[in-house]
Amino acid sequence: MAKSIVRFDDSLPILTEVVASELGHETLAAGTILRDTMGRLAFFSATALPEETVTHLSIRLQEALGAYARTDRIVASASDYGTAPVLTDPLTLRITIGPHSVRLLDRRLVGADWLRAPAPPAPPPPRFVFSSLKGGVGRSTALTVAAAHLAGRGGRVLAIDLDMEAPGLGSVLLNSDTLPEYGIIDALVENGLTPLDESFYADLIGPSALGGQRGRIDVIPAFGRRSMKHPADVLAKIARAYAEESQPDGSVATILDQVRAIVNHFATPARYDAILVDARAGLHETTASSVLGLGAEVLLFGLDEPQTFQGYAALLAHLARFVPANGPPPEWLERLTMVQGKAPLDPEERAGFEQRCSTLFAEIGLGPRPSRATREAPFPAGPFHDVPWDEDVPDEEVLPEEWGPRNPLAVLDDARFQRFNPHLRRDLLSEAVYQTAYGALLNRIENAVFAKPPSNP
Amino acid sequence: MKLTAAEYQDIRKAIASLPADVSNDAIGNHAPKLEELYAPETHAAALDPEAPIVLGVRGTGKSFWAGVLGKEELREAAATAYPKLGLNHLNVQFGFTGLDSLNGIGREKLDACVPANAGIDEARFFWWATILYGLAQAEGKQPTKLSKLLPAARDLEEREAILDRHEKALHARSRTLLIVYDALDTMAISWPRRQLLTQALLEVVWSMRAYRAIRLKLFLRPDQLEDDALRFVELPKLRTGAVRLTWPGTDLYGLLFARLALSDASVSFGRLLESLGLRMGSRTEILARHWSLGHDVSDQKRLMTALTGPYMADGAHGYKKGNTYDWPLAHLGDAFNEVTPRSFLGLAIAAATYGAAPPDRVLTPDGIRHGLRAASKTRVDQLHQEFPWIKGVLAPLAGLLLPQEEKEVFTVWRKTRTLPNAIADAQKEDYLPPFPESGSNDERSLYMALERIGVMLRRKDGRLDMPDLFRVAAKLLKKGATAPL
């Protein structure tokens, strides 16, 4: 039988099997697997290995992994030069491969931001990231309605457009008179050369007329007036915006760090009651920052179609790697909410989406976990028609497990909000009109923004 | 103007001592009492004399309303709650009550009139006789024996003559005679006989549709009407016209708050309402639904927040755990998303006895969570009265991860011999087995039986699932030996 070519998805399982069989589970679990930028693998042992073991294992791994074996030093012993930094690298992930729990150091040319665990919740004001894998799911419209709704309640809202590939928020919320000089793109380009100062920050913000008279909506668009004047330079700016930035102290600020710094600059409770961020959750480098890095409530928009679940499976399966094996559910899980865009009015039909979401989360390891592996079924104690109650079972064994994402929300399909232009049709932003379609979403956001104290009024 | 800890405790004690068990017979010792009467707006259609078929799962108040209709004093009180229904022009008699004592008609009297091997005609004559019986009773004549009326019931011309005479007389006096049938699930202990009797009764209901002054009203369980074995050409019309007794969340909260308003703690409760700018209601106002806490969701939410805090956890991120108003409703629903008053009140009562009394509110989120456990037991005990096999069928599913492929669910039942045990037990203990015996006695039939009564459901993706309410109960049942899977 011809030996089949090893492909990317095969490589890690092969390496873990070989190392486990040669060195045992414990040595495998204690060491670090290094995956280089090409995807080639090496094993760094946390214990010192005899010379002949290293040689023997290296030969076996080379044979087994083919092109996915590192060419030099496929096995490194604890005592070797250069092993210690790999073993202690903070970007190491603990992941599960088949029966093995292993440490993986994934060196990437791009995508390094995805290796960072989700940030803890940001201090107030609350942040909401509106994201989707694809466009056309009603994400920006939902953000606009939410901003107008909060402003109508007297809230002060900052709306930020991080979707630089397909910006849209600026043109919905602002007009040619209110568009600020700069946009997010400029901030990301300029900060590589000089620290941003207050006057630059001030020129990032434009006020939206949709704020009404009661509250306020400030907008940081993706592109400002300058970009509109020099459209030919936009692509050149995008190329620079994604560059990592060397800090004065010698460290490197990734795009996640840079975006976070900009958002943090504005996010003070004295200025705003809520920060709403429009972002792609595509699997691209830049989207890691919005999903993981802002400490925000993340709303994952999607239509009820297979592409939605396929795309989010990749994103969520990656996030599941940050969940400790037997620990409590991570706090950030409660900050992920799926939102069904253009949802049907019939709640029966929407139930399908909800069920697919809960299945997706559960299968990927982000849902309630089976309490124990049951390979046996109990017989009822006592006569069939009179099984007694067991009063001694503790609450935590019987009550529903409350770990998992929050229930999906629905934004109902409403033709009036297609080709949404609130400047031409202000009536769309009156509560009576938007409440039916957006009520559930707005209720969720409002609860966080105007959170009531737990005690009695 | 905050309440004192003692006042909060006062309300807490009142909740803890609410009667959880509402009356569940139309007549007799467990018949409804005036102080139990609570009249949700949505139940008006069920009491309407024009609606011949009222459906309700166990515990939704079928017998309660049957009993209210049957007793003049209660009917008058109900008339103030539902003034449009003309309840005060009614005479009410019972055509079936499930109890043979008093003037009730139950299985014994039925069996005496309809022999075991009877066909559909005999069954129909019996139901005609119950109508004639009702007419005789309404006239206040000497009590007749039901069996004595069978000859007249069999004779079409004589029967119609009696009906027409009464119809005219009632009409002349602007009265309506309502004949009420309740506890119809108890009329037989074998599937074929129950189906025969149900079908015969439905046929009689259909035949009576032209009479304006003599009306029938059947309180039925949905699964009894939806039985596929019923063969009757007008059945779709009866099914479609049926009214369903349900308890929306607003009505459940309305019931709880009404009980508090009329409890021993009404002074403290009134103070709490006052501190929220809400008005206290009197018995009459509550009954007539002139009290906002009976129907206004935002007022109800404000009160619930004052009773328990707004969210199911304290702290800045507590809101993510959901709010205290919605949580009980979300977890108490069966597969039809229906919540019964008894499980709802059961949850509240258990919450009010859980842990130490907090100084600054009435119930705690942990108490509410714990209350689900009590509610779950209550609900299954309730179902158990009609489906004695329910606990034995649920217990083996305790360890199963749900939702689950049907194959896995069926395997659990197969390995624990649940199906043969259920059938044997039903025979031995003389109750109706989960489903009619037929060629396909398999685990699927068992699942279908649970689906019919709202204990399990099939999800959109085809897997089987169970509402939280019953998952909790399954885990609470005592387990014996285990079978390897």
Query: Residue B128 and residue B135: Cα distance in Å, rounded?
Result: 11
Q: Are B334 and B57 in contact, with CB atoms under 8 Å apart?
A: yes
Query: Does residue B172 sit in the same domain as residue B93?
Result: yes
Question: For residue B376, what are the domain limits?
Answer: 249-383
Last residue of a domain, one of B383, B413, B439: B383
Domain that holds residue A234: 127-369+398-450
Contacts of residue B276 in chain A, CB cutoff 8 Å? Answer: 457
Based on the domain organization, do A12 and A83 belong to the same domain?
yes
Instruction: Determine, yes or no, domain membership for B181.
Output: yes
Look at residues A57, A73, A107 and tell me which one is the last residue of a structural domain: A107
User: pLDDT by residue (tens digit) across A33-83?
Assistant: 999 888 999 999 999 999 999 999 999 999 999 999 998 889 999 988 889
**B13 found inside a domain:** no
Residue A250 confidence class, pLDDT cut points 50, 70, 90: low
pLDDT of residue B217: 97
Between A197-206, A286-295, A384-393, B262-271, the lowest mean confidence (pLDDT) is in A286-295
Report residue A3's pLDDT band, with 50, 70 and 90 as the boundaries: low
**Which of B228, B244, B260 corresponds to the end of one domain?**
B244
Total domains in chain A come to: 2
Q: Are residues A153 and A19 in the same domain?
A: no
List the single range of A154-158, A196-200, A251-255, A323-327 with lowest mean pLDDT: A323-327
Least confident of A335-344, A366-375, B42-51, B101-110: A366-375
**B270 and chain A in contact, CB less than 8 A:** no
pLDDT of residue A324: 73
Among residues B28, B214, B190, B36, the alpha carbon closest in space to that of B111 is found at: B190
Q: CA-nearest residue of chain A to B365?
A: A454
**Banded model confidence at residue A453, pLDDT cuts 50, 70, 90:** very low
Query: Given a cut of 50, is residue A145 above it in pLDDT?
Result: yes
Domain-located, residue B211 = yes
ipTM over 0.85: yes
Is the overall model pTM greater than 0.90, yes or no?
no
- Write the residue in B320, B416, B475 that is nearest to A398 by C-beta: B475
Claim to verify: residue A224 and residue A362 sit in the same structural domain: yes
How far is A366 from chain B, CA to nearest CA, in Å?
15
Average pLDDT, chain A: 87
Question: Encoding tokens for residue B427?
Answer: 């025979």
Q: B388 vs A370: CB contact, 8 Å cut-off?
A: no
Inter-chain CB proximity B399 and A386 less than 8 Å = no
Judge whether B346 is closer than 8 Å to chain A, CB to CB.
no
Give yes or no: residues B290 and B374 share one domain: yes
**Residue keyed to tokens 């119950």:** B130
Average pLDDT (A281-287) is 70
What is d(CA B110, CA B90) in angstroms, rounded to the nearest whole number?
26
Closest CA to B138 of B100, B105, B176, B106: B176
Q: Which residues between 317 and 336 in chain B have a beta carbon less than 8 angstroms from any beta carbon of chain A?
A: 317-321, 323, 331
Same domain, B259 and B238: no
Q: Is residue A219 within 8 Å of A205, Cβ to Cβ?
A: yes
Of all residues in chain A, the percent with pLDDT exceeding 70 is 93
In a domain, A388, yes or no: no
Pairing of strands B243-244, B53-55: parallel
Q: Is B337 left (phi over 0), alpha (psi -120 to 50) or beta?
A: left
The beta strand positions in B130-191, using DSSP E, are: 176-181
Is residue B1 situated within a structural domain? Answer: no
Does residue B353 lie in a domain region?
Answer: yes
The pLDDT, as a whole number, for residue B296 is: 94
- Amino acid at site B293: L
Q: Both B186 and B45 in a single domain?
A: yes
Residue A341: CB atoms within 10 A of its CB come to: 22
Across the interface, whether the CB atoms of A375 and B472 are under 8 A apart is answered no
Please determine, for residue A367, whether its predicted confidence score (pLDDT) is greater than 80: no
Instruction: Quote the radius of gyration of chain B (alpha carbons, Å).
Output: 24
Please indicate, yes or no, whether residues B83 and B161 belong to a single structural domain of this protein.
Answer: yes
Interface of A with B in 71-130 (CB under 8 A): 121
Confidence of residue A455 (pLDDT cuts 50, 70, 90): very low
Q: Which two tokens stand for residue B183?
A: 């506890």
CB contact set of A445 (below 8 Å; sequence gap of 6+):
A128, A146, A149, A150, A274
pLDDT at A285: 66
B28 lies in some domain: no
Asked if B312 contacts B321 with a C-beta cutoff of 8 angstroms, the reply is yes
- 3-state SS assignment for residue B472: helix
Chain segment B111-135, per-residue pLDDT in tens: 999 999 999 999 999 999 999 999 9
Residue A456 has pLDDT above 50, yes or no: no
Q: Are residues B56 and B199 in the same domain?
A: yes
Q: According to the model, what pLDDT value does residue A213 have?
A: 76
Under an 8 A CB cutoff, do B317 and A379 touch? Answer: no
Name residues whose C-beta falls within 8 Å of residue A387's C-beta, 6 or more positions apart in sequence: A380, A381, B391, B392, B395, B477, B478
Whether A79 and A141 map to the same domain: the answer is: no
User: Which residues are registered as beta bridge partners of A207?
Assistant: A218
- Distance in Å, alpha carbon of A392 to nearest chain B alpha carbon: 9
Examine residue A120 and state whether it is found in any structural domain, yes or no.
no
Per-residue pLDDT at A457: 35
Quick one: pLDDT at residue A30?
93
Higher pLDDT, B285 or A194: B285
- Total of domains in chain B: 3
Which pLDDT does position A238 carry in this prediction? 83
Select the more confidently predicted residue: B175 or A112: B175
The CATH number given to whatever domain includes residue A286 is: 3.40.50.300
- The Cα-based distances of A149 to A205, A273, B471 in angstroms read 20, 13, 39
One domain for residues B256 and B233: no
pLDDT of residue A237: 86
The HSE-up count of residue A186 (CA atoms within 13 Å, CB side) is 22
- Between A and B, how many residue pairs show a Cβ–Cβ distance under 8 A? 155
Domain-ending residue, one of B221, B244, B267: B244
| Same-domain pairing of A75 and A136 | no
Q: What is the pLDDT of residue B1?
A: 65
Tell me, yes or no, whether A103 and A154 share the same domain.
no
Q: What torsion, rounded to 10 degrees, do the Cα atoms B344, B345, B347, B349 define?
A: 170
Given this model, what pLDDT does residue A315 score?
87
* Structure tokens given for A180: 């600020």
Whether B420 and B356 share a structural domain: no
Q: What b-and-e string marks burial along A69-88, b requiring 16 or more CB atoms within 10 Å of the CB? A: bbeebbbbbeebeebeebbe
Q: Show residues of chain A in contact with B422, CB under 8 Å.
A: 384
Of A87-101, A156-170, B182-196, the range with the highest mean pLDDT is B182-196
Verify that B260 and B376 share a domain, yes or no.
Answer: yes
Q: Note whether residue B184 is domain-resident.
A: yes
Domain match, A215 and A148 both: yes
Q: With a cut of 70, list the residues of chain B below it in pLDDT.
A: 1, 21-23, 438-440
Is residue B466 located within the same domain as residue B374?
A: no
Q: Do A377 and B305 touch (CB under 8 A)?
A: no
Interfacial A residues in 343-382 facing B (CB < 8 Å): 351-352, 355-356, 359, 370-372, 374-382
